[in-house]
A and B are shown apart, each in its own frame.
Chain A
Amino acid sequence: MRAQAGMKLLTHNLLSSHVRGVGPRGFPLRIQATEIRVSPVDFNPDFVTRMIPKMEWTALVEAAESLGHLSELPRQLKEGYEKDEDFLRKVHHVLLEVEVVEGTLQCPESGRLFPISRGIPNMLLSDDEATS
């Protein structure tokens, strides 16, 4: 049976807690992973180059590090990264190949936990908790 897929760090970089009152302090969610998977994905430099400007770079580096997969990513983006294939491959690996199969995402402001089960994060809040 095929191994279970998991949440990618690209997705994690876009997610925020929307517990009432936290606003922009709901990002980034802290990952607590009990099961991680590394799974190869075809390298596409054009896609990676397109994604880098959309990412919150510091949050990406921190998330990769918290999973033990920093993969030599620099803490700051350097000029001309578009032409650095080595660098793009490292970013590709971190964005798309490191997956959280089981664990939780924690709102940094409220502490609320969002479970990740079988690779799928559950972001549902009760009516009381959610932003109106």
Chain B
Amino acid sequence: MALPSTLNRYLLLLAQEHLEFRLPEIKSLLSLFGGRFSSHQEIHGNSPFWILSIPSEDIARNLMKRTVCAKSIFELWGHGKSPEELYNSLKSYPMEKMAPFLHSDTTYKIKIHTFNKTLTQEEKVKRIDALEFLPFEGKVNLKDPQHVFSILEDYGLDPNHIPEKPLNIYFGRWIADGQRELIESYSVKKRHFIGNTSMDAGLSFIMANHGKVKENDIVFDPFVGTGGLLIPSAHFGAYVCGTDIDYNTIHGLGKASRKNQKWRGPDENIKANLRQYGLEKYYLDVLIADASKPSWRKGLFFDAIITDQSHIPVSFNYHLSDMFIDLLNFAAETLVLGGRLVYWLPVYIPEYMEEIIPRHPCLKLISNCEQRLSSHTARRLITMEKVKDFEDQDQYSHLLDNQFLPYKGLNSFREKYFSGVTKRIAKEEKSSQE
């Protein structure tokens, strides 16, 4: 399969968590930086190794400044299913691409990583020495080299079945690491203001990436709670705002969610959370408002709407499926063209099917990623993109019989499905707390 000659190949090394969320994150980020995700990409399901064709090193670096799913990226110089295949592959890598990093004025070091196997120091040195045929002219510097090269050996995914020989071996020039350290620095454990449903930091950053948030955007959360989802967007340079129907949460009042703490202190509110990370300047406002009865004037204000409404209690009169219809209509009305909606959908696994996902004529479904909560329940992170301007009649599209017949049957199915889901999830939460 011939690759376009203008594209360079890179090896992306991914972390083995949130597996379903990785591809949409990388795709969204590549499109944010002008790359395109082509079908030439060699992605293998759950593997931590992906080979991507990216037009430039700049785009690769920009990708790594945002991703929390990927650990590192390497300019791929060679790969194979055996050492011989790897060496042949390296010998056919164009000399003019290698030369700038090998010449006598440079310093370098070669590292080796193995996945799902441990090698002795002796074995590692042997493998590095085997690359002596490469025309390195620079000096080895183990402490602070200009260029770092890596051999990566893939021994599969099954810790109970470790093969004698690697399944794949890669060699590349290290370009950059991803942002996984943000997961630790923004950990909920250290945050001043949390609620009962504050989300894991990694997932909240993934959401901002699925939302293609960029500098100077306005990002809105209609179910803002303690503001956890605003933080990653602010970290990426967007200005953030939110609404919530709960007065006490917004004002930082009432019982604290942290163990051993009785009442929330005056420094506990959303702005204080942003201040904790030096992101205060990105805080616009939060309001007390009902997301189903929005108080915005007509206009396209938001570049992204990123929310988690799964903690909202659903009242008798306001069905869960109505909440999603309202949310999608709201997104269609207030997002800029190309803007994204990112939200969670509760799922009862035995009855789930893709048709359950709410649709809207102005919004295109981009991705749908499952996070399992229990053996029968999960939630799915839905990402949609506004592709068409909103005209009033779209609001009633789900009611029109002949034009949208497929939706009619689905809506009653959704109704039944979501009311069942909420009951089940509530039941499971209750029993897990007992």
Are A124 and B301 in contact (CB-based, < 8 A)?
Answer: no
- Closest Cβ of chain A: how far from B233's Cβ, in Å? 13
Instruction: Identify which of A10, A14, A17, A119 contacts B299 (C-beta below 8 A).
Output: A14
- Closest Cβ of chain A: how far from B242's Cβ, in Å? 11
Are A120 and B297 in contact (CB-based, < 8 A)?
Answer: no
Q: Which A residues are CB-close (under 8 A) to B215?
A: 46
**Complex CA distance for A42 and B280, rounded to whole angstroms:** 10
The interface bits of chain B over 262-282 (1 if a CB of A lies within 8 angstroms of the residue's CB, else 0) are 000011000100000000010
- Closest Cβ of chain B: how far from A118's Cβ, in Å? 6
- Closest Cβ of chain A: how far from B112's Cβ, in Å? 44
- Closest Cβ of chain B: how far from A117's Cβ, in Å? 8
Q: Which A residues are CB-close (under 8 A) to B301?
A: 14, 54
Instruction: Identify which of B283, B287, B299 contacts A122 (C-beta below 8 A).
Output: B287
Are A131 and B293 in contact (CB-based, < 8 A)?
Answer: yes
Are A1 and B266 in contact (CB-based, < 8 A)?
Answer: yes
Instruction: Identify which of A24, A56, A118, A123 contacts B289 (C-beta below 8 A).
Output: A123
Are A8 and B295 in contact (CB-based, < 8 A)?
Answer: no
Q: 4 extra interchain contacts, Cβ-Cβ under 8 A, other than A8-B284, A42-B281? A: A46-B215, A120-B287, A123-B290, A124-B289
> Which residues of chain A in 19-36 are interfacial with respect to chain B, using CB atoms and an 8 Å cutoff?
24, 26-28
Are B216 and A124 in contact (CB-based, < 8 A)?
Answer: no
Q: Which B residues are CB-close (under 8 A) to A52?
A: none
- Closest Cβ of chain A: how far from B161's Cβ, in Å? 53
Q: Which B residues are CB-close (under 8 A) to A123?
A: 243, 287-290, 295
25 A-B residue pairs with Cβ-Cβ distance under 8 Å, sorted by A, are A7-B285, A11-B241, A11-B287, A14-B296, A15-B287, A15-B295, A15-B297, A16-B295, A16-B297, A17-B295, A42-B281, A44-B216, A54-B301, A56-B297, A117-B251, A118-B251, A119-B285, A120-B286, A121-B287, A122-B288, A123-B288, A123-B289, A124-B288, A124-B289, A125-B290
Are A50 and B216 in contact (CB-based, < 8 A)?
Answer: yes
Q: Which B residues are CB-close (under 8 A) to A117?
A: 251
Residue of B nearest to A11 (CB): B285
Are B297 and A124 in contact (CB-based, < 8 A)?
Answer: no
Residue of A nearest to B245 (CB): A124
Q: Which A residues are CB-close (under 8 A) to B285?
A: 7-8, 11, 119-121
In the A-B complex, the 10 residue pairs with the smallest Cβ-Cβ separation, listed nearest first, are A16-B297, A11-B285, A123-B289, A123-B295, A122-B288, A27-B297, A42-B281, A47-B216, A130-B293, A121-B287
Tell me the A residues contacting B by CB distance below 8 Å.
1-2, 5, 7-8, 10-11, 14-18, 24, 26-28, 41-42, 44, 46-47, 50, 54, 56, 96, 117-125, 130-131
Instruction: Identify which of A17, A24, A119 contacts B298 (C-beta below 8 A).
Output: A24
> Which residues of chain B in 199-232 are interfacial with respect to chain A, using CB atoms and an 8 Å cutoff?
215-216
Are B293 and A18 in contact (CB-based, < 8 A)?
Answer: yes
Residue with the highest number of chain B CB atoms closer than 10 Å, among A2, A14, A24, A42: A14
Residue of A nearest to B272 (CB): A2
Total of A-B residue pairs, C-beta within 8 Å: 77
Q: Does B420 contact A (CB under 8 A)?
A: no
Q: Does B239 contact A (CB under 8 A)?
A: yes
Q: Does B254 contact A (CB under 8 A)?
A: no
- Closest Cβ of chain A: how far from B192's Cβ, in Å? 12
Q: Which B residues are CB-close (under 8 A) to A5?
A: 271, 283
Q: Which A residues are CB-close (under 8 A) to B267?
A: 2
- Closest Cβ of chain A: how far from B249's Cβ, in Å? 11
**Complex CA distance for A15 and B239, rounded to whole angstroms:** 17
- Closest Cβ of chain A: how far from B146's Cβ, in Å? 34
Q: Which B residues are CB-close (under 8 A) to A122?
A: 247, 287-289
Q: Does B151 contact A (CB under 8 A)?
A: no
**Complex CA distance for A8 and B287, rounded to whole angstroms:** 11
Q: Does B163 contact A (CB under 8 A)?
A: no
Q: Does B294 contact A (CB under 8 A)?
A: yes
**Complex CA distance for A77 and B284, rounded to whole angstroms:** 23
Are B297 and A10 in contact (CB-based, < 8 A)?
Answer: no
**Complex CA distance for A121 and B247, rounded to whole angstroms:** 10
**Complex CA distance for A16 and B296, rounded to whole angstroms:** 5
Are A120 and B299 in contact (CB-based, < 8 A)?
Answer: no
- Closest Cβ of chain A: how far from B323's Cβ, in Å? 16
**Complex CA distance for A120 and B245, rounded to whole angstroms:** 12
Residue with the highest number of chain B CB atoms closer than 10 Å, among A2, A16, A120: A120
Q: Which B residues are CB-close (under 8 A) to A24?
A: 297-298
Q: Does B250 contact A (CB under 8 A)?
A: yes
Q: Which A residues are CB-close (under 8 A) to B243?
A: 123
Residue of B nearest to A46 (CB): B216
Are A125 and B287 in contact (CB-based, < 8 A)?
Answer: no
Q: Which B residues are CB-close (under 8 A) to A46?
A: 215-216
> Which residues of chain B in 318-350 are interfacial with respect to chain A, using CB atoms and an 8 Å cutoff?
none
Given A2-B267, A11-B284, the answer on whether A120 and B250 have CB atoms closer than 8 Å is: yes
